[in-house]
Amino acid sequence: MTNKILRVLDLSSLRTALLWIPVAVLVAGCSKPEPAPEPIRAVKVVTVQAEPLHSRLEFAGDVRARVTSALGFRVAGKLIKRQAEVGQRVKVGQVLAELDPSDYRLAAAAAQAQVAAALTNRDLASADFKRYKELREQNFISGAELERRESTLKAAQAQLEQAQAQLASQGNQAGYTRLMADVSGVVTAVQAEVGQVVGAGTPVVIIAQDGPRDVVFTVPEDRVAAVKVGEPVGIKVWANDDLLDGKVREVAASADPVTRTFQVKVELAAKDELPLGATVTVLPPSMSREGLTAIKLPTSALRRDGGGSAVWVLDTGSMTLRSQAVQVETADGNDVVIASGLTPGMVVVVAGVHVLAPGQKVQIYQGKTTPGQAAKAATAANTVATPAPAPVAPAAPAASAGK
């Protein structure tokens, strides 16, 4: 009896277990697997140290004539001929352009006619005065009448002189229809074409006068105080890399209204005749950084953090990262110069900075290098990270089959 009861209980337990098996399978299928631990990221680092600066400020400039003349007609008119062309060398007295002189010739002819009329009136007044003077000597007329004739003669003489002056002026006006070079030099610009009506004084031809040459360049407002009149500067010619000596001759007193930069003129030596418009590089020694030392980092080490720049500093004890704000002063080649925020000896991440987080645990990247390169890299980085495993010694040559 007892065995029968036990046999029934075993069947009942087996049936219950079989019923719970699908439930357990469903529960096991719905549960989330535990996430795999995040791998420790490898980072490239450098040790902060003061290094010498190698860059110097360079400014692009061009060669210009010290004196440039903008020549224009002294009268208005229609341009009918232009002999000057850009790049042409001209001499004093050479005709550059001509206006239509028809109106001025007519005006000169009218002035000539006025001179003739004034001359006739003067001669008539002179003859009257001579006749009335003889009558006065014979007491046939009063002294007042003689004085009136004398006044008429003086007025006629004045009108003649006025007409003659007018004729001379109109003659000059006709001569002003020819624009002639009053200096020797090179035509650098032409600002009027044939058929154009130009006003008096409107520039038609720009001439760079022969003589001394200047190198002209511009500097920003924060650097203009470092440029002094009389300061020697180096000038490197772009075409052949020749290095010439120059001297600052003039610094603009006010900034350009458009670029907000200050123009600087450098005097070239008389022996250094560079072509007009030649491109040069100006090297002011007062703006050179050579010989100075500062903390430098690759540009890849910087990231934006709020309103400024920051870097990741590695705590070599816990191998975790922390953010450090820095202030960038300027650039030195492909590196940036750090003004504040870092001290020598800090270990800074220089690659992949945008995928890191504060407190993240990292390891130092060990590149595939030869034993000699690995030793040099470890010495240059000067980090205190876990040293790389010692290089495996080359295996001994296998024994020959005969031994």
- Whose CA is closest to 334, among 360, 302, 361? 302
User: What are the DSSP calls for 97-132, one per residue?
Assistant: EEE--HHHHHHHHHHHHHHHHHHHHHHHHHHHHHHH
Give the integer Cα–Cα distance in Å for 172 and 184: 23
Interacting residues of 343 by C-beta distance below 8 A, sequence separation 6+: 48
For the segment(s) 293-381, the CATH number from 2.40.420.20, 1.10.10.10, 2.40.30.170, 3.30.450.20 is 2.40.420.20
Q: What is the CATH architecture of 56-98+177-288?
A: Beta Barrel (2.40)
- Looking at residue 378, its amino acid is A
The pLDDT value given to residue 355: 87
Query: Rounded to the nearest 5°, which phi and psi values hold at 281?
Result: -115, 125
- Whose CA is closest to 96, among 10, 9, 188? 188
The CA dihedral of 85, 90, 95, 98, to the nearest 10 degrees, is: 30
- Whose CA is closest to 176, among 99, 230, 234? 99
The domain spans of the chain are 56-98+177-288, 101-175, 293-381
Interacting residues of 150 by C-beta distance below 8 A, sequence separation 6+: 129
The pLDDT value given to residue 374: 43
Task: Return per-residue pLDDT of the chain as tens, 403 residues.
Answer: 545 544 544 555 656 555 565 555 454 555 566 666 667 888 899 999 888 877 778 899 999 999 999 999 999 999 999 999 998 999 999 999 999 999 999 998 999 999 999 999 999 999 888 888 888 888 888 888 888 888 998 999 999 999 999 889 888 888 899 999 999 999 999 999 999 999 999 999 999 998 889 999 999 998 898 899 999 999 998 878 788 989 999 999 999 999 999 999 999 887 877 888 889 999 888 777 766 788 889 988 999 888 889 999 999 888 999 999 999 888 777 888 898 889 999 999 998 888 888 988 988 888 765 454 444 444 434 433 333 333 333 333 333 333 2
The pLDDT value given to residue 190: 94
pTM over 0.95: no
Give the integer Cα–Cα distance in Å for 244 and 229: 18
Q: Per DSSP, what are the bridge partners of residue 338?
A: 295, 328
The pLDDT value given to residue 373: 43
Look at domain 101-175 and name its CATH class: mainly alpha
- Whose CA is closest to 54, among 331, 242, 297, 326? 331
Residue 92 burial (10 A CB sphere; 0-12, 13-18, 19+): exposed
- How would you label 379-398 residue by residue, b for 16+ Cβ within 10 Å and e otherwise? eeeebebeeeeeeeeeeeee
